Amino acid sequence: MLKRHEWKRKKSEIDASSRGTVEIRPYRDSDFIGFLNIHPKGVYFNAPYIVQNLNDLHSLVMAVLDGRVVGYVYYEDFKADGFSDICFLNVLQSAQNKKIGTKLIEKAIEDSFKKSEIKRIEISVRVNNTAAFRLYQRLGFKETITYLAYELRL
């Protein structure tokens, strides 16, 4: 979870040198194949469902490098409950560790906190996902609840 007032302080600390030439912008129809290639299979929202349901509350932001989609973030606003949920963040393996994930999350945070109803941003991450965990912590996210996932196999 990241609270609005904590982000304001954090934003001022972010090093301007982390800014590069990658373009961070809203999804366009021509991005679909690139998006499909990066979006994981078998997750709760598939790529066609996401793009068909974009609206004021459901946002898809792309990272484009040299005309190629290299990453995206998808997030949903729950204005009545005062928060945005970052549902998916993915960067092509070949483009990782260049702060593209950071820029995507920064954009999602900036857009969300422009909406006066949004007071906090939530992300769920697996405890062994060190790269994502580091990124979120660096941007000021604080750990709140740890969920345990149970599975019963046939």
What is the spatial distance between Cα 128 and Cα 16, in angstroms, rounded to a whole number? 29
Query: Does the protein bind ligand COA through residue 129 (CB under 6 A)?
Result: yes
Contact 60, 72 (CB under 8 A): yes
Segment contacting ligand COA (CB under 6 A): 29-37, 48-56, 97-105, 143-151? 97-105
Q: What's the closest the beta carbon of residue 99 comes to ligand COA, in angstroms?
A: 4
By beta-carbon proximity to ligand COA, the closer residue of 54 and 127 is 127
Query: Does the protein bind ligand COA through residue 91 (CB under 6 A)?
Result: yes
Q: Mention every residue, 6+ apart, whose C-beta is less than 8 A from residue 140.
A: 2, 6, 7, 9, 10
Size of the site for ligand COA (CB under 6 A): 18
Query: Does the protein bind ligand COA through residue 99 (CB under 6 A)?
Result: yes
